[in-house]
Structure 1
Amino acid sequence: MRIGFIGLGIMGYSMASNLLKAGYELTVYNRTIEKAEKLGKSGAKVAYSPKEVAENSEVVISMVTDAPDVEDVLFSEKGVVKSGKKGLIFIDMSTNSPEFAKKTAKKLSEYGIEFLDAPVTGGDKGAREGTLTIMVGGKENIFRQVEPIFQAMGKNIIYVGEIGSGQALKLCNQVVVSLDMVAVIESLMLARSLGIDDEKLFSVLSTGAGNSFTVQYYLPKIMKGDLEPGFKAAHLKKDLKYALDTGTSASLPLPGTSLALQLYNSMVSLGMGEKGTQGLIKVYEKLIKT
């Protein structure tokens, strides 16, 4: 299958690279064209619009920031639908709401384009190593057609069910991710206030019942003061808003999610939205000084 890939950010660039390594014929587009040209040197065809990507592809993948970006990729004057042939499969691997996925699928069906929502988790590390967990919603027969494509980017591929169910499961994941970060940072702040060495805290958390991906991957970064993004705080804030809105529509109380969202709102308001989610420690440090 000829694949198009739109969105070469922290995650997307590595995911597209893994498709190239797997031997797929790949066409790439990114608003910052230099990133696409860099992949062009590795064998990808560089496109200068989503429309051009669709012209050269049987499957088009988007890995962009938010719902408005997906809509622009699809329905703008130079969007995918302007040249996408009937039977094209469009896969949105960014994180949006289940309702947005359903609305997008319905709209694309009018053009004869199939749709899968397939958000991922695993951060920049998982994207680089091809070990992402991928959650897929949509028609199962369409999923089976493109399953080898997912396997080139991820290790744990989960077909969830109908359109929007991939996004729904991803939002559940983000609730845990956000609250785990809150727990790790509060534990670190408490340990430091009690004079406990950072390394001793890490030794206990990483080998005991408190162990998690956040402990293993992000706690060492926090300890070193490394706030560069594996996943941007502004993106997690967006995901938590979707999760809270989805819970609210079902009259479901999510007090922990609400707390995490307010903390990440604070981080973004401090001008740190482009930093990694572990930068939340700066919010706590500011609270201490207040």
Structure 2
Amino acid sequence: MAGSHIGLIGLGAMGTGIATSIARSGISLSINDSDDARLNSINNSPLLHKDTSETIIAECDLILFCVPSATQIDQLLSGSSLKSGSCVIDLTSSDPRITQKRAVRLLAENNAHQLDAAMSGGAKGAAAGTLTLMVGGDKQILENHKEVLSSFANQIFYIGEAGKGQLMKLFHNAVCHGNFLLLSEICIKGEHYGLDLAQMIEVFNCSNARSYISEKRFPDHILSGTFDGRSTPSNLKKDLSLLDDLLKIDGVEESYLSHSLRLLNMLDTKFENDDFMLIYPQLKQILKK
């Protein structure tokens, strides 16, 4: 990667942490966000250079996209021409079918490569450089860019061809989100029958019922009263709906995903962009009726 020009577009909670981790590792990075406030609030570093998205796309050898959806990536790419031999890294949780089509198009039209590198570990992991990445695309292209990816991820899994990284992330998120919603529903019912929430979580964590959700999410973000999980109900809906749609194409009409989506759809839409840990008190109000 020596001498390569690297860019990152998207400075939300994840993108800001990734940019900080890349710079901390000594790698120079051009950055951009459509929100000027985000762009101007990022920590000053001689290795972080603000630039336009058009310039980053046209001039960088490696472009990382950490934006909300595949649609935004396609919109940004449609207005600029990639360098021949460059590589796009899609860090979103998106529809793998869109990713596969884009990979074919970029190679045919620009002689450019793409990796889908879906993330797990949240904003804290991005800032600490400890994310887990699930990568789809050409394995050699992944090897070529591992130095940059390793600056913000300590676990990198090659899953397979284009789209497979994002497909893996959809199944990963189905387990995480489904577990959170199941545990929320069970604990709400337990409280209804007179059990203490904190004690239920303590018992689960000393037994076979423990999980990341019970060990971290409930103690740190619900029992603490902080409700700061740093994601939103709309993100949960997006992820579960994508996989639910894929399963329905294969004839799976009803699954636990369907129940998870029903629980999410019970929530008032005005809370869709609030922190997703607030799902617990909201469901508690709904399910007690």
Counterpart residue number, 1:46: 50
Mapped partners of 2:43, 2:286: distance in 1: 46
Question: Is residue 201 of structure 2 the alignment partner of residue 197 of structure 1?
Answer: no
Aligned residues: 283
Counterpart residue number, 2:172: 173
Change (3 A) 1:40 1:226: closer
Note the 1:1-290 alignment, pairs <5 A.
1-39=4-42, 41-43=44-46, 44-48=48-52, 50-75=53-78, 77=79, 82-109=80-107, 110-220=109-219, 221-267=221-267, 269-288=268-287, 290=289
Mapped partners of 2:207, 2:177: distance in 1: 20
Q: In the alignment, residue 184 of structure 2 is paired with which amino acid?
A: I
Displacement of 1:56 in angstroms is: 4.3
Tell me the TM-score normalized by structure 1: 0.91
- The SS at the match of 1:203 is helix
Mapped partners of 2:19, 2:206: distance in 1: 34
Deviations 1:110-150, CA, capped at 9 Å, x for gaps: 11211111111122222222221100000111011011222
Structure 2 residue runs of 5 or longer lacking an equivalent are none
Tell me the TM-score normalized by structure 2: 0.91
Mapped partners of 1:19, 1:197: distance in 2: 44
Mapped partners of 2:254, 2:103: distance in 1: 28
Q: Is the 8 A contact 2:81 2:110 kept in 1?
A: no
Root-mean-square deviation over aligned CA pairs: 1.8
Q: In the alignment, residue 204 of structure 1 is paired with which amino acid?
A: V
Mapped partners of 2:126, 2:214: distance in 1: 19
Q: Is the 8 A contact 2:66 2:92 kept in 1?
A: yes
Displacement of 1:257 in angstroms is: 0.5
Q: Is the 8 A contact 2:138 2:161 kept in 1?
A: yes
Mapped partners of 1:226, 1:93: distance in 2: 28
Mapped partners of 2:196, 2:252: distance in 1: 40
Mapped partners of 1:223, 1:164: distance in 2: 37
Q: In the alignment, residue 208 of structure 1 is paired with which amino acid?
A: S
Change (3 A) 1:254 1:157: farther
Structure 1 residue runs of 5 or longer lacking an equivalent are none
Deviations 1:169-220, CA, capped at 9 Å, x for gaps: 0111011011111122123213322333333222222232122221122102
Change (3 A) 1:254 1:24: farther
Q: Which moved more, 1:102-111 or 1:91-100?
A: 102-111
Deviations 1:209-237, CA, capped at 9 Å, x for gaps: 12222112210212233333422221121
Amino-acid identity (%): 25
- The SS at the match of 2:30 is strand
Displacement of 1:39 in angstroms is: 3.0
Deviations 1:61-100, CA, capped at 9 Å, x for gaps: 001111211211211x3xxxx2421011000000111101
